[in-house]
Structure 1
């Protein structure tokens, strides 16, 4: 089933705004002693308030604490922006004034808010969010009166915020994100929160309500045959319009199939996954909508080197600027796309930092060994702390959402050349415009929700949408109410 990040996306406090990379709504949590978990997939409830069905379910199942459930928490307006770091370090080990970071954050997120105002504009000054931000920043720079060193530092801080926004949008570059539809993404109020036992607590509760033996796992689907008349021996005398063919040779006849695979999988496999092929309009929508990678890298330490109240360590790479297009070799510079490290709550004697990295650098990181990643990030931390003797992490764990064959990335964004109409096109059931034919293939998942794409709540709502579509069809056919699960 499908999700969202961050995206991976980041919003209040140190929490990335939209769900962190996930294979759809697949949640992966790795146990840490004693009983803690780290989320390799979706991490936060983004916008935990009454309009968020994930929050509502979590509250109903008793999975949240008093603070998360408080009215105060639900009313916080984050605007979808990341909170300020506890500590900001440069790549040469200097501490950056948090006042300067706050000044650049105010500038950057003020411009991000401006980009949302082009939603209903007849035309935009530039095609992408990135180009708009850079154009506006270039104008701002001309008015800066500080010395050259401070001006360069301010640009380096802004460059980090560009990388943060790439993590939020699940993209390699904000130049790939379309400006006109950017404001259609809806940020819900509420201070982002987590599940103490991982997102898996929620999926376990949902699954507990299902009848036993209705879920089949570890059975990859090879092809969905549709618009046919398929007969199987287990259902003599009945013809089905859909047949799901699995890689192990199993054949599952069906009246309806709801497809929730990640968009990255559809981009790679749509030509062989559907028989007959998808209509040209839907295939084109799949091609046009953006889908990127946002990964997490967890580092476990024997002892914390950070202060007890530290929540987020931001890293600023000196001599970088969003106004300069540099392309150093991936091998030497992939880690410069890291936005910093989130400090996870300690699990007894276990201390963990979580780094976020998006884009092609994130995909390159997946090709490296654990040892290479550990070595590179040990060197990074020694540089930014100014402590060449800093003990290396004792272990590393990372997500690899791009190389995972059933995800091929993390979550969707509206790319240059696409609009929200493409999202609606992807969500359109098949066959199209044929009232005499029952709904055969329906589409759900984060990439099919026009205003909540990239989030777990968008994925959940899309699943409910398609369930309601089928319930409505069968209610109409039977002319009597049917029980709703």
Structure 2
């Protein structure tokens, strides 16, 4: 390294990508690394809470694709944070494309329990269509306007061919079942509607083998384990960054300056920005001086970033089957194949179509999944109004007025000014090049200015694992390795 103590490196954000970058640098011998975290904790959108005695993951829930290729799985395994089932070879070999073979219970808005066998055509149709999207992976353009246009149009066409009025289960009910699953797919993509998503772009994301698993003690255990190996003073909490002043050749500074909200200016040779894309979208004009290059800014704006929230509900008694993993709610009065509502204020709760069962809870508890503008509106509701809406919905679907929520807990990622939403997706018009532009350092390669002044990490900067914890971790490692390689080359010269 150029000097005995090494370069001054500031990491903005102490989420998974920031912690991963700092960890990699510190373990490689970089001594002057500092994380500036706007809040009072590390973890970012990893946020483990409690609902009574239950672990409630307000943000990241699963290790998607727990196998040897997934560094999050490997770290969690090495820290002893996983249960034995997740560690089996069989679990790691399952290739389910992040669609676990959950055992479902189905309920209708008429207050009736629906047979799993009767509703299997809805689930089969949905899975078939998702699989069929991959045929468009390498197409530059298609006759379909969007992912939603393909899924909804093909659902109606194939249903007309396969499901007749004489069937035991009315085709309308099965179509409403598909709608429930499409609403859940909105959550998976943090999108208001699948009509926003690019059909070829949907295949940019790559899954890993393995049956998705949770960390029994909570995802925060992984962050805490990593932090325990770092110097205790490496993170400065409650230190929001107001502006990153980088060198563009028009000023006389020869260093990067990180200006904090309290006015302090921290001198750095390199800054790794790991804040969520939602925060970048909202604050880029004041966060960088000079402004971001046009091509990078345009890519940042093209990549989608939406809201997905969870509502945890605890009950006095269990009203679903003992082996049930997931509950689907089917609104029978929906005339079309729908994945969002026309009036968010009046009908937001119709977007809440899927609940997963909290298996390790001593008290019966569910986690509801909701995305889009409906999720954003839900965040604004007074707690009592939220409770009333949920209670009415459970009464409607079960036909049992005695079923009443005992305790409720919700996430509110859209109102969180440090995230401004949940995670990213690929909307219409977005390409792989936009993801590549997101991870390009400042200044551009080949410039005569000091290199690698501002580097970018975070889940929205990974080319194929965006929107995941392992994508965030790998992006942090990538930018740390970029600096490690840079100084290794300079030392050899």
Q: 1:110 to 1:247 in 2, by over 3 A?
A: same
Q: Which residue of 240, 246, 262 maps to 1:220?
A: 240
Q: Which residue of 407, 416, 420 maps to 1:404?
A: 416
Q: Distance in 2 between matches of 1:338 and 1:285?
A: 31
With normalisation by structure 2, the TM-score equals 0.87
1:267 aligns with 2:286: no
Shift of 1:405: 0.4
Q: 1:282 to 1:134 in 2, by over 3 A?
A: same
What do the CA deviations read for 1:259-291 (whole angstroms, capped 9, x no partner)? 111111111111111111100011111111111
User: Partner residue of 1:100?
Assistant: 118
What secondary structure is seen at the aligned counterpart in 2 of 1:357?
Answer: strand
What secondary structure is seen at the aligned counterpart in 1 of 2:49?
Answer: strand
User: Partner residue of 2:294?
Assistant: 280
Q: Distance in 1 between matches of 2:51 and 2:392?
A: 25
Q: Which residue of 186, 191, 199 maps to 2:219?
A: 199
Q: Distance in 2 between matches of 1:303 and 1:137?
A: 37
1:242 aligns with 2:256: yes
Q: Distance in 2 between matches of 1:338 and 1:419?
A: 30
Give the conservation status (yes or no) of the 8 Å contact 2:16–2:223: no
User: Partner residue of 2:39?
Assistant: none
Q: Distance in 1 between matches of 2:76 and 2:340?
A: 44
- Greater shift after overlay, 447-456 or 350-359? 350-359
Structure 2, gaps ≥5 residues long: 1-12, 18-41
Q: 1:380 to 1:223 in 2, by over 3 A?
A: same
Shift of 1:32: 4.6
What secondary structure is seen at the aligned counterpart in 2 of 1:109?
Answer: helix
- Greater shift after overlay, 131-140 or 204-213? 131-140
What secondary structure is seen at the aligned counterpart in 1 of 2:145?
Answer: coil
Give the conservation status (yes or no) of the 8 Å contact 2:348–2:377: yes
User: Partner residue of 2:172?
Assistant: 152
Q: Distance in 2 between matches of 1:305 and 1:400?
A: 27
Q: Distance in 1 between matches of 2:264 and 2:59?
A: 29
User: Partner residue of 1:335?
Assistant: 349
Q: 1:328 to 1:180 in 2, by over 3 A?
A: closer
Q: Distance in 1 between matches of 2:430 and 2:63?
A: 27
What do the CA deviations read for 1:92-117 (whole angstroms, capped 9, x no partner)? 21122212332221211111111122
1:46 aligns with 2:64: yes
Q: Distance in 2 between matches of 1:96 and 1:33?
A: 30
1:130 aligns with 2:148: yes
When the two chains are superposed, the root-mean-square deviation of aligned CA atoms in Å is: 2.3
User: Partner residue of 1:420?
Assistant: 432
User: Partner residue of 1:17?
Assistant: none
Q: 1:250 to 1:326 in 2, by over 3 A?
A: closer
Q: Distance in 2 between matches of 1:360 and 1:440?
A: 37
Give the conservation status (yes or no) of the 8 Å contact 1:230–1:240: no
Q: Which residue of 358, 376, 380 maps to 1:344?
A: 358
- Greater shift after overlay, 376-385 or 96-105? 96-105
Structure 1, gaps ≥5 residues long: 5-22, 232-237, 481-485
Shift of 1:306: 2.8
Q: 1:267 to 1:122 in 2, by over 3 A?
A: closer
Map residues 150-189 of structure 1 onto 2, 5 A cutoff.
150-189=170-209
Count of matched residue positions in the alignment of Structure 1 and Structure 2: 453
1:357 aligns with 2:367: no
Give the conservation status (yes or no) of the 8 Å contact 1:242–1:440: yes
Q: 1:261 to 1:473 in 2, by over 3 A?
A: same
Shift of 1:127: 3.0
User: Partner residue of 2:458?
Assistant: 445
User: Partner residue of 1:140?
Assistant: 158
With normalisation by structure 1, the TM-score equals 0.88
What secondary structure is seen at the aligned counterpart in 2 of 1:467?
Answer: helix
User: Partner residue of 2:446?
Assistant: 434
Map residues 62-141 of structure 1 onto 2, 5 A cutoff.
62-141=80-159
Q: 1:103 to 1:323 in 2, by over 3 A?
A: closer
Q: Which residue of 368, 378, 382 maps to 2:395?
A: 382
